[in-house]
Amino acid sequence: MRSSVKIIAVVFLTLGVLGIFVLHTRAQTSDDIDVDCDNAITTMDMVACADKRYQAADARLNAVYKKSLQDSDAEGAKILRESQRGWISFRDAECLRYRDMARGGTMAPLLQIGCLADMTENRSVELENTTEMLASQPDGIFWQSSAPIVARFDCKNWMRARLGLLPGTGKSGEPELSVRVEVGTAHIDLPVNPDGQIAVCKPTVTLSVEESKGSCPRLKLEDGACDAIYLSWDAKKAGLSSSRN
């Protein structure tokens, strides 16, 4: 996953950007430089420390990527390889843009290598979250990996609540997405539709519990775009009812 320093050097020399010799020399010797990265002061030391972080991030990403490939079927692995190649191209171009913000200055290498480290670390998290999500969803529902909420939603029994995304197909044959909230053995599906009365406007949702004296706990579903949806336990139907207030 790691970019070739020699290739980067050629690119920047072609563009007439100064200071690439510093990055080139540093990248070849950063493993041998003894720097206290908690107290790095000089730009060269900070660059060396950033490069060490990038190397560690790159090693982790290689391991995560390999596992993601192993956990994918043939078609999924093909798509993942294409995605990863595209991501590497984007990352490298984006980090060149960061370097260009300090064109010709001593901070240029630090901006570039810091960007590479940040984006590589984030990519590992993305792949890990996706792999974990797919591996644990044999029912086709992508449950959030956050800790489940437990409360006496019916005022009697402790029940667990959790939140997930449910892909599906609409009446017209078009793909559609719903948000599923499950409490105990009951659940409710809310479509992702900005124009719906009781619907979620965006799939980036969060679930929390609200408690008040004299009533059972209820769930609050928020997407950051529309008004919150409140889910309460309906004893008559032994399930959930929804409202905007």
User: What pLDDT, on the 0 to 100 scale, is given for residue 14?
Assistant: 32
User: What pLDDT, on the 0 to 100 scale, is given for residue 202?
Assistant: 84
User: What pLDDT, on the 0 to 100 scale, is given for residue 82?
Assistant: 94
pLDDT tens digits, one per residue of 190-231? 988 867 667 888 888 899 999 888 899 999 999 888 889 999
Helices (H) and strands (E) in the chain, counts: 5, 9
| 40: nearest Cα among 108, 98, 110, 104 | 110
Q: Are 205 and 214 in contact (CB under 8 A)?
A: no
Single pTM value for the model: 0.48
In whole numbers, what is the pLDDT of the chain averaged over residues? 80
Q: Is the pLDDT of residue 76 over 60?
A: yes
Class of the CATH domain delimited by 5-135: mainly alpha
**The total number of residues written for the chain in this structure:** 245
User: What pLDDT, on the 0 to 100 scale, is given for residue 133?
Assistant: 54
One-letter identity of residue 79: I
Within 10 angstroms of residue 129's Cβ, the number of other Cβ atoms is 11
Domain positions in the chain are 5-135, 142-243
pLDDT tens digits, one per residue of 137-183? 556 788 776 666 889 999 988 898 988 888 887 777 778 889 999 99
